[in-house]
Amino acid sequence: MPAPRVLEPEPMLSYGEDQSYLVIEGDNLQVMVSLQSQYNDSVDVVYIDPPYNRGGNDFRYSDTRYRDPDADAADAVYITNEDGGRHTKWLNYMAPRLVTTHRLMADHGVIFVSINDIELGRLLMLMDEVFDESNRIGIIAWKGSSDNNPSRIAIEHEYIVTCG
């Protein structure tokens, strides 16, 4: 994990009487780690729209430099990246973000994660590991624009995985 940094408030972008609604710009993992000291166990709602793994070997968001120092080889959340497979790279990107998000969430908190069908199954397994399978609320099917092609399976769906 990256080291926490001091976050400087930007009053012009924040709102609320006590400036409690914040807009923070930066790498999402770095920001979440930096928020932990002040907001652990206090976030009510999280929405994540991660980069979709659309195939190929060009997944641009490789975060192999970030590792949980407390994780060991038996930790199912952290998957090795030895094969360089696109699913492994995507999971290595997502795992530390979901673990950090879980630490920020209040006990009554809920998380929504958008995803397409390519990584849906892997995201479900990862979220079951991080948030516990018993906390899965459901999967929302989101129908986007239609391609009007009756000769193929409908591909205009995306999903929102929800855990509490």
Tell me which of 120 and 28 has the higher pLDDT.
Answer: 120
* pLDDT higher than threshold 90 for residue 61: no
Residue given tokens 């998000």 in the structure block: 101
pTM to 2 decimal places: 0.72
| Whole-number pLDDT of residue 29 | 85
Per-residue H/E/C for 15-74: ECCCCCECCCCCCHHHHHHHHHHHHCCCEEEEEECCCCCCCCCCCCCCCCCCCCCCCCCC
Tell me the per-residue pLDDT of 102-130, one tens digit each, with 9 for 90 and over: 999 999 999 999 998 878 899 999 999 99
Tell me the per-residue pLDDT of 34-46, one tens digit each, with 9 for 90 and over: 888 888 999 999 9
